[in-house]
Structure 1
Amino acid sequence: MAPGGEGREVPPGIVLKEAHYPGRAPVDAYGAGGFRFADMSHRGSILCVPSGIYAWTPERPKDLDTDAFARVVAEAEEIELLLVGMGALPFPLPQPVSETLREAAVRFEVMPTGSAVRTFNVLLAEERRVAAALLAVE
């Protein structure tokens, strides 16, 4: 078996691609370690940006670094507000991440994941240029 990235093994000839939903969609449900959106479910954290919804590798607030927000920075001109769902409890963003987002002129709000999901859905329904970085919760 060939390596499939992140500790997964896949049969030869199978290519794993980055998980990605190419559009904007509200988050229908969250919990049990994942999310439901666009009639699909995803286990793990997600990043919702103008170009789509992506699987996001951070699992806990301590996993957040500037690399985790590279796609947000790349799409900064299309983002009015970034909501960061930090799991069950609100934690501040690490200072290097905050500085990187500010340098990219990305306004952000940090809150528990549930609050971030609800706010994201409302702002998305209002057709606002909102993005969300959501850590999965159990």
Structure 2
Amino acid sequence: MRLNEVVYSDAKPVEGYGPGFFRIGGTVFEGPVIAGTSGVSAWQGFDDHAPLLALAGKIDILFIGTGAEIAHIPADLRSTLEDAGIGVDVMSSPAAARTYNVLLSEGRRIALAMIPV
């Protein structure tokens, strides 16, 4: 078996999560977050479109974690993001974190917005 060290670009991987928090790049963040090559920042949730729209042109896909269970995001959020040219993939936050980490290790142009579990 051959093992390869995973090297991340400027973005930090999600290392853990729990009730109300995420650990990303060695730092604990309380509440919803956005993560990507520009760093990690607080997010106000599904009604907070501006920081997500700021990613237009910088990413190809945005993973949205909806908490412990998969749920629909508001239709206006999805259409606003898609109109801005941002692909959207919605899943539970644990699944979004795992998917983000894998694609991040491949050097993909991605970002992550998550609601805590």
Deviation by residue 1:82-132 (Cα, 9 ceiling, x = unmatched): 000000111111111011011101001000000000000001110101101
- Structure 2 equivalent of residue 11 of structure 1: none
1:45 CA drift (Å): 1.2
RMSD value, Cα = 1.2
- Could you say which residue in structure 1 is the equivalent of 2:14? 27
Q: Residue 47 in 1 paired to residue 27 in 2?
A: no
Corresponding pairs, count: 108
Contact kept in structure 1, 2:32 and 2:42, CA below 8 Å: yes
For the pair shown, the structure with the greater C-alpha radius of gyration is 1
Structure 1 partner of 2:67: 87
Would the aligned equivalents of 1:87 and 1:135 in 2 still touch at CA under 8 Å?
yes
Amino acid at match of 2:63: L
The equivalent residue for 1:71 is 51
Aligned to 1:6: none
Runs of 5+ consecutive residues of structure 2 not aligned to the other structure: 1-9
**Is residue 133 of structure 1 aligned with residue 110 of structure 2?**
no
Q: Is the 8 A contact 1:79 1:129 kept in 2?
A: yes
Identity %: 37
Task: Check conservation: 1:48, 1:131, Cα contact below 8 A.
Answer: yes
Residue of structure 2 equivalent to 1:122: 102
Whether the aligned pair in 2 keeps the contact of 1:50 and 1:75 (CA below 8 Å) is no
CA–CA separation in structure 1 for the residues paired with 2:26 and 2:101: 15
Structure 1: gaps spanning 5 or more residues: 1-22, 59-63
Flag as ranges the 4+ runs of structure 1 deviating above 4 A.
Answer: none
